[in-house]
Amino acid sequence: MDKTAEEENIKEVEDLALISVIGFEGGTRHGLISHPDKKHIIYPMGTKVIVQNWETKKQVFQGSHSNNVSAITISCSGKYIATGETTQMGFKAPVTIWDLEEKKTFQKYEIHKMKVVAVAFSSDERLVFSLGGRDDSNVIVWDLKNMEAICGSPAVGPSSGEVTTICTPSLHSRFFLTGGNGNLRIWNIIPETRTLKFREASVGMTKRHVLCIVVDEENKHMYCGTSTGDVMKLCLNLPTHPKNDDSFNSPALLNCMALVPFSKGDNSKTVDCYHNGVRALALLSDEMMIIGAGDGQVDMVREQKKKTVKPDGIAIKNPTKPLLKRVRCTSVKAEITSLVVINEQIIVGTMSSEIYSIDLKSFQVTLAVTCHTSRIYGIAFPYNYSKVFATSGENEIRVWNTEKSQELLRIRVPNFICTVVLFSRDGKSIVSAWNNGTIQAFTPQTGKIMYVIQSAHTKGVSAMDMTSDGKKIVSGGCEGQVRVWKVSLQEQILCGALQEHRGPVSSIQIKKNDKEAVSGCTDGTCIVWDLERLVRSQIIFANTLFLCVRYYPNGCQILTTGTDHKISYWETFDGSLIRELEGSLSAPVNSIDITKDGKYLVTASNDLLVKVWKYNEGTVTHVGVGHAGVVTAARVSDDGKYLVSVSSDGAIFIWNFPHELSEDMEEIATEDQEEADKTQDSDLPGNKNGESGKREENSKKTSKKVSSKTTKK
């Protein structure tokens, strides 16, 4: 192919249209924020920033970052979003300002090293303040009007710990606050001299690790959540008029507030501190406050303003005065990383990548967003049905509604990994393979267990497929065996064990006629098995670790992917190589899927990309960008409406499949398959009319129909 043809192919590649993302980056501190319109919430997921209407649940995706989003904030008017990223050692970490209305990048600067831990806008939206991570530890002030950095300074002194949070007052645009491990500062910007001045907060002998900071509407007081489990209240001492900001005093500690014991019958007579620290704060009117703790506790508290230093029966540990009194409380049972209040609801984000909605009056908890918290291993659609799909991961199987992106069912098997999940052809069972060596079947409606094959493989089940009638299962194990099972609700019988692989079996697929199966292994072999005679029909050798193997719809060809970064086309009959495509320039290709009509294939690889290919031409038509982790699997629904991809960080991306599928190839595939099956049946041992020559001739005819199109010109 000449240069001109290559350039044309590159130009034809388009981006996949993203419908929705199931996931929430719970590890991003204060990553869940609310839009000023009180209708939308904004949060990161990998390299994407998701703007979601809280009522309709409709998602809009803001830009695409090169790396994981580590910090996010929104301006007072809601016009701009600022995000920070995490990069590798030795690289600059960019801060990007997005125009939310026009949905494009407004400005971008790369000054910090490796990671940006916090960003904030000034009240007049003129300045952006960004805070570098441990390897940077600098605070930068960026001017949006002049598109330049005004000034910067080390965020801490040589004897102080790491700075982790930043906050801006609403009435003073030239001031901002930073806090961290043993440090709490107020900063003043002098634009004329392009310098920064700071003052340490006056806290006396009190030593705290500040995790979050909020300022009241009048800019008189600031509240700091600490790792100790109490709340520090300080007087800001800002200038009375926003323009008189040349001189300012240090914030002064008023008190450290802890909880009155929840139970009146508590005999300890000591104050309560929040376990694992106060991670998030939100101020309400009438001197009320919402506190989110590291143990998942969410409290509505009121500050007790009593003159008495020591309430009756409670021993005060300096300087916990006055105390906080619980008004309402609940728990989300996971470390809280974000907390916002919108429309009489408390929206809470947790470290377990879940978002909860808590009614402000009743404190009733509702799970709003959930996802896998770790690597996802497999995807499965029911036969000819695209409205639901299932995913498998650590400890669980989850069934999702494709249109609403909501979880319908969760099947938990603690302490084990589900490596493969699939639906039976009739849709009456979910069959799964686990790393503890078992094969388990569940009901798709309730998740109730139907049957279990104990010790299906000695070192865990790594691959599996089921025949169309649901009566046989072919499984592969980490010890290298391929086993054939006859299954029913009453009994599960081992028909045979095939021992030719010398490594973990990575992928298995059964042919449409249910008489053959192909298995790929990390030992560099791919074997076609006769399921009726339980013998090897064909074997393929390659200098790669096979990761995925798939039959072409009519069964005449086999497609494989592996660590050699290639997509390989093989003849089923004699195992000869037809062609090879460069599946990825730099990474192994983990998964491959072929559409029902055989015209398109989809690949997922370690380069974080999802690609749609034309089968015959071997060219890429669309690329999906957005995953922050290794893309472990990708599947197309039978109707060709959806493309679902999953990754190692637990994210699920639902794309709009860009091509329309036809039924022509499926009809041809069925006719060819029936013709091949008749020939194969006549050639079985014991049949007097069998002729091996006819079998070979018909198989070659079937193969030529596709191979003539796929051979390189």
How far are the Cα atoms of 397, 425, 505, 516, 551 from residue 383, in angstroms, in the given order? 18, 6, 25, 20, 17
* Alpha-carbon gap, residue 208 to 179, rounded angstroms: 10
Q: Which residues of 47-81 are buried (b: 16+ CB within 10 A; e: fewer)?
A: bbbbbbebeeeebebbbebebbbbbbbbbeebbbb
Lowest-confidence pick of 12-21, 472-481, 645-654: 12-21
Token pair 């639906």 in the structure block, residue? 423
The number of CA neighbours under 13 Å toward the Cβ of 41 is: 28
Q: Using the Cα atoms of residue 320, residue 321, residue 324 and residue 325 in order, give the sign of their dihedral.
A: positive
Q: Find all residues with CB under 8 Å of 228, minimum gap 6, and list them.
A: 208, 209, 273, 277
**How confident is the model at residue 245, as a pLDDT?**
56
**345-350/430-434 β-pairing:** unpaired
527 — pLDDT class (breaks 50, 70, 90): very high
241 — pLDDT class (breaks 50, 70, 90): low
* Alpha-carbon gap, residue 499 to 676, rounded angstroms: 27
Report the percent of the chain where pLDDT is more than 70.
86
Q: What is the CATH number of domain 376-665?
A: 2.130.10.10
692: closest CA among 703, 684, 702?
684
Contact (Cβ atoms closer than 8 angstroms) between residue 7 and residue 29: no
424: closest CA among 390, 375, 392, 387?
390
Contact (Cβ atoms closer than 8 angstroms) between residue 619 and residue 9: yes
Reply yes or no on whether the pLDDT at 27 is more than 80.
Answer: yes
Contact (Cβ atoms closer than 8 angstroms) between residue 529 and residue 519: yes
Beta strands (DSSP E) in 511-599 are 516-521, 525-530, 535-541, 546-551, 557-562, 566-571, 577-582, 589-594
Contact (Cβ atoms closer than 8 angstroms) between residue 583 and residue 574: no
Total count of residues recorded for the chain: 713
Beta strands (DSSP E) in 563-665 are 566-571, 577-582, 589-594, 600-605, 609-614, 620-625, 631-636, 642-647, 652-656
Reply yes or no on whether the pLDDT at 582 is more than 70.
Answer: yes
The type of residue at 294 is: G
**14-15/620-625 β-pairing:** parallel
Query: Which tens digit of pLDDT belongs to each residue from 353-368?
Result: 899 999 999 999 999 9
User: CATH fold of 264-269+279-368, please?
Assistant: Thrombin, subunit H (2.40.10)
Which helix (H) or strand (E) segment holds residue 123: the answer is none
Q: Which residues of 503-536 are buried (b: 16+ CB within 10 A; e: fewer)?
A: ebbbbbbbbbbbbbbbbbbbbbbbbbbbbeeeee
Lowest-confidence pick of 180-189, 281-290, 694-703: 694-703
**How confident is the model at residue 62, as a pLDDT?**
78
- The β-bridge partners of 52 are 41, 59
* Alpha-carbon gap, residue 528 to 537, rounded angstroms: 5
243 — pLDDT class (breaks 50, 70, 90): low
Query: Which tens digit of pLDDT belongs to each residue from 662-673?
Result: 765 445 445 544
Contact (Cβ atoms closer than 8 angstroms) between residue 176 and residue 163: no
How many other β-carbons are positioned within 10 Å of the β-carbon of residue 438?
18
How many other β-carbons are positioned within 10 Å of the β-carbon of residue 38?
15
Query: Which tens digit of pLDDT belongs to each residue from 84-113?
Result: 999 988 899 999 999 988 888 999 999 999
Q: In the 8-state DSSP scheme, what is residue 698?
A: H
Query: Which tens digit of pLDDT belongs to each residue from 121-159?
Result: 999 999 999 999 988 889 999 999 999 999 999 998 777
Determine if the peptide bond prior to 319 is cis (ω within 30°). yes
386 — pLDDT class (breaks 50, 70, 90): very high
Contact (Cβ atoms closer than 8 angstroms) between residue 488 and residue 473: no
**How confident is the model at residue 68, as a pLDDT?**
87
How far are the Cα atoms of 126, 127, 198, 569, 622 from residue 148, in angstroms, in the given order? 11, 10, 21, 53, 37
Domain boundaries, given as residue ranges, for the chain? 264-269+279-368, 376-665
Which helix (H) or strand (E) segment holds residue 10: the answer is helix 3-12
Tell me the angle at which helices 692-710 and 664-682 cross, rounded to the nearest 10 degrees: 160
Reply yes or no on whether the pLDDT at 677 is more than 70.
Answer: no
pTM here is 0.83
Q: Which residues of 397-416 are buried (b: 16+ CB within 10 A; e: fewer)?
A: bbbbebeebebebebebeeb
Token pair 């006629």 in the structure block, residue? 513
